[in-house]
C-alpha cells in the first residue's frame, strides 16, 4: 500500500475535475486528480459545443483562455426553425450585449490537460477500483489499484467530479440523498463532419419528423443532431440516412445549403433531467454531471459544470485562506439554486422542440398544438424572446 497526502483529491479528469484542479492550483491549494480512463479516451468523447460568458471567464481565470479566445466563434444569436421558416433570436440585442461562444468541450479538456501537465501536477489516469473512504470525517481518503499495487490518497476534502456514472454519488447511502429524474422518450443521434456549417448561427428545428440541430465546432467542422428513437442503434443510421433525415427537418433554404460529407464521429445519447440533492456530504462535494444532468437542448451541461466549479473553488479557497468553512457549508444551496433554473430552461427547450411520441403520459396531438402555439407566441413576443435569450446566454451568478 502506497500512501500519499494532498489537500483536495479530485475524482474524474473531465472538464469539472480539470477546471477545479487548475483553479485550486493557481490559488496554491494542492490537489491530485484520479481518473479511471486514459487521457486519450477522455479526449475522444465528443460532448458540448456552446460556452457561456461565465464559463469563458473561468477558463481565462484558470489561465487556459488563450486558444479559446483565438479560435472560439462568438455567436450573437440562434435560429428557431418551424413550419418551414427560420426565426432569428437576437441574443445580443435582447440581453444588452451578451453572447455565447462556440468552442468544443474537447478543446477545453485539451487546454486544461496541457496546463495541468505543464504545471507538473499529479493526475492518475487508468486508475482501477477507485473508492472513497471516511468522507464524513475529518480524514477522508481515496484508494485505487494500478499495475497490481494499491494506492491511498489522504486529503482534507474529496471533490466528486466523476460524472453521472461515477463512484462518488454512488458511495452515498440512499437515505442521505434525494434523486430527481425524468428520462425523455427519445435520444439524439449526433455526427461530426468536416464540412462548412449550413448557417452562421445554430439552427434548432421543430419538425413533425422530429427535432434537429445544426451546430458547429469551427467554420470547417459541423456538429449536427437529429432526434431518434431510444431503440435506434448506430448501425441503423448510415451517413446517407442521417444527411437525408437532417435535410428533411430543415426549412427549404437551409436544406438547399446543407453541406454533406463523411462522419468522423457518430453517437447516440439518451436525454434525461436529473438532479441529486444535496451536493455535499461531510467533506465530499459533488460537482458537474456527478450531481446533475440536463437534456442538451439548452446547451447547459458543460456550463452548469463550470458553474458548480466556480462556487466550489471559491469555497475551498476561502476555507484555506480565511479559515472559513462558510462557503463550503453553503455550496450545495447556492449551486442547486442555479442548477434548477438551468434544468427548467433545458426542460422548456426540450419540450418545445421535440416530437413526443403518442403514449401514456405524453401530450399527444394536443401537445403538438401547444408547441405550435408556444413557438408562434415566442417569435412574436419580445418579452418571450428576451426570456429565452437571457437563459440561453446564462443567468447571473448569486455571489
| Residue of 8, 23, 32, 48 interacting with ligand PHB (CB under 6 A) | 48
User: Residues touching ligand PHB: how many (CB under 6 A)?
Assistant: 10
Alpha helices (runs of H) in 95-220, residue ranges in sequence order = 105-118
Among candidates 264, 179, 269, which has minimal Cα distance to 217?
A: 264
Q: Does 223 bind ligand PHB (CB under 6 A)?
A: yes
* Partner interacting with residue 22 (select from ligand FAS, ligand PHB, none; CB below 5-8 Å by kind): none
Grid coordinates representing 110?
485539451
Phi, psi of 265 (to 5 degrees): -155, 145
Query: Are the CB atoms for 284 and 140 separated by under 8 Å?
Result: yes
Nearer to ligand FAS, 47 or 355 (CB): 47
DSSP letter (8 states) at residue 161: -
Question: Could you tell me the smallest distance in angstroms from the CB atom of residue 142 to ligand FAS?
Answer: 9
Instruction: Please state whether 297 falls in left (phi above 0), alpha (psi between -120 and 50) or beta.
Output: alpha
User: 377 an active-site residue?
Assistant: no
Half-sphere exposure of 287 (CA within 13 A, CB side): 33
Question: Could you tell me the smallest distance in angstroms from the CB atom of residue 93 to ligand PHB?
Answer: 20
Alpha helices (runs of H) in the chain, residue ranges in sequence order = 15-26, 39-44, 53-61, 66-71, 91-94, 105-118, 239-248, 252-257, 301-322, 326-353, 364-378, 382-392
Nearer to ligand FAS, 299 or 389 (CB): 299
The kind and range of the H/E element at 175 are: none
Q: Does 299 bind ligand PHB (CB under 6 A)?
A: yes
d(C-alpha 380, C-alpha 90), whole Å: 13
Question: Could you tell me the smallest distance in angstroms from the CB atom of residue 383 to ligand FAS?
Answer: 26
Instruction: Tell me which residues touch ligand FAS (CB under 6 A).
Output: 11-17, 34-37, 42, 47-49, 105, 127, 130, 161-163, 165-167, 267, 269, 288-289, 296, 299-302, 305
d(C-alpha 354, C-alpha 13), whole Å: 32
User: 225 an active-site residue?
Assistant: no
Stretch that binds ligand PHB, among 48-56, 242-250, 333-341, 350-358 (CB under 6 A): 48-56
Nearer to ligand FAS, 13 or 113 (CB): 13
Phi, psi of 30 (to 5 degrees): -70, 140
Asked whether the CA dihedral 91, 97, 102, 104 is positive or negative, the reply is negative
Stretch that binds ligand PHB, among 134-142, 265-273, 285-293, 295-303 (CB under 6 A): 295-303
Q: Does 296 bind ligand PHB (CB under 6 A)?
A: yes
Which pairing describes strands 78-82 and 202-205: parallel, antiparallel, or unpaired? parallel
Maximum alpha-carbon separation in the chain? 66
The kind and range of the H/E element at 225 are: strand 222-228
User: Active-site residue among 296, 311, 331, 354?
Assistant: 296
User: 75 an active-site residue?
Assistant: yes
Nearer to ligand PHB, 22 or 106 (CB): 106
Nearer to ligand PHB, 49 or 187 (CB): 49
User: 151 an active-site residue?
Assistant: no
User: Active-site residue among 25, 75, 207, 224?
Assistant: 75
Grid coordinates representing 188?
439524439
* Partner interacting with residue 271 (select from ligand PHB, ligand FAS, none; CB below 5-8 Å by kind): none
User: Active-site residue among 103, 135, 144, 204?
Assistant: 204
User: 247 an active-site residue?
Assistant: no
* Partner interacting with residue 297 (select from ligand FAS, ligand PHB, none; CB below 5-8 Å by kind): ligand PHB
User: Active-site residue among 76, 292, 300, 354?
Assistant: 300
Stretch that binds ligand PHB, among 26-34, 42-50, 87-95, 135-143 (CB under 6 A): 42-50
| Residue of 12, 14, 17, 49 interacting with ligand PHB (CB under 6 A) | 49
Q: Does 205 bind ligand PHB (CB under 6 A)?
A: no
Grid coordinates representing 248?
428533411
As annotated, the active-site residues are 75, 204, 296, 300, 392
Amino acid at each position: 500500500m502506497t500512501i500519499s497526502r494532498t489537500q483536495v483529491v479530485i475524482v474524474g479528469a473531465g472538464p469539472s475535475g480539470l477546471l477545479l484542479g487548475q483553479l485550486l492550483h493557481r490559488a496554491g491549494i494542492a490537489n491530485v486528480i484520479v481518473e479511471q480512463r486514459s487521457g486519450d479516451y477522455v479526449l475522444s468523447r465528443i460532448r458540448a459545443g456552446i460556452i457561456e460568458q461565465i464559463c469563458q471567464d473561468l477558463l481565462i481565470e484558470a489561465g487556459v483562455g488563450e486558444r479559446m479566445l483565438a479560435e472560439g466563434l462568438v455567436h450573437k444569436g440562434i435560429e428557431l426553425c418551424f413550419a418551414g421558416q427560420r426565426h432569428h433570436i437576437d441574443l445580443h440585442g435582447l440581453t444588452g450585449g451578451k453572447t455565447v461562444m462556440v468552442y468544443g468541450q474537447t478543446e477545453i479538456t485539451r487546454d486544461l490537460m496541457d496546463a495541468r501537465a505543464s504545471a507538473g501536477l499529479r493526475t492518475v489516469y487508468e486508475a482501477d477500483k477507485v473508492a472513497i473512504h471516511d468522507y464524513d470525517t475529518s480524514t477522508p481518503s481515496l484508494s485505487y489499484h494500478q499495475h497490481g499495487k494499491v494506492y491511498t490518497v489522504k486529503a482534507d476534502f474529496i471533490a466528486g467530479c466523476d460524472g453521472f456514472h461515477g463512484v462518488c454519488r454512488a458511495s452515498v447511502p440512499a437515505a442521505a440523498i434525494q434523486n430527481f429524474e425524468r428520462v425523455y422518450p427519445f435520444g439524439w443521434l449526433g455526427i461530426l463532419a468536416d464540412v462548412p456549417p449550413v448557417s452562421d448561427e445554430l439552427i434548432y428545428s421543430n419538425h413533425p419528423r422530429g427535432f434537429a440541430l445544426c451546430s458547429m465546432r469551427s467554420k470547417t467542422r459541423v456538429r449536427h443532431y437529429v432526434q431518434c428513437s431510444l431503440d435506434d442503434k448506430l448501425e441503423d443510421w448510415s451517413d446517407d440516412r442521417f444527411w437525408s433525415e437532417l435535410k428533411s427537418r430543415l426549412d427549404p433554404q437551409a436544406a438547399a445549403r446543407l453541406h454533406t460529407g463523411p462522419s468522423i464521429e457518430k453517437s447516440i445519447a439518451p436525454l434525461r433531467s436529473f438532479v441529486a440533492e444535496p451536493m455535499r456530504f461531510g467533506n465530499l462535494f459533488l460537482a458537474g454531471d456527478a450531481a446533475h444532468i440536463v437534456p442538451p437542448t439548452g446547451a447547459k451541461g458543460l456550463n452548469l459544470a463550470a458553474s458548480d466549479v466556480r462556487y466550489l473553488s471559491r469555497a475551498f479557497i476561502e476555507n484555506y485562506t480565511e479559515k472559513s468553512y462558510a462557503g463550503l457549508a453553503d455550496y450545495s444551496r447556492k449551486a442547486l439554486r442555479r442548477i434548477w433554473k438551468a434544468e427548467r430552461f433545458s426542460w422548456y427547450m426540450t419540450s418545445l422542440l421535440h416530437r413526443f411520441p403518442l403514449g401514456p403520459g405524453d401530450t399527444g396531438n394536443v401537445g403538438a398544438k401547444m408547441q405550435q402555439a408556444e413557438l408562434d407566441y415566442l417569435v412574436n413576443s419580445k418579452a418571450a424572446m428576451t426570456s429565452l435569450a437571457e437563459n440561453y446566454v446564462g443567468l447571473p451568478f448569486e455571489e
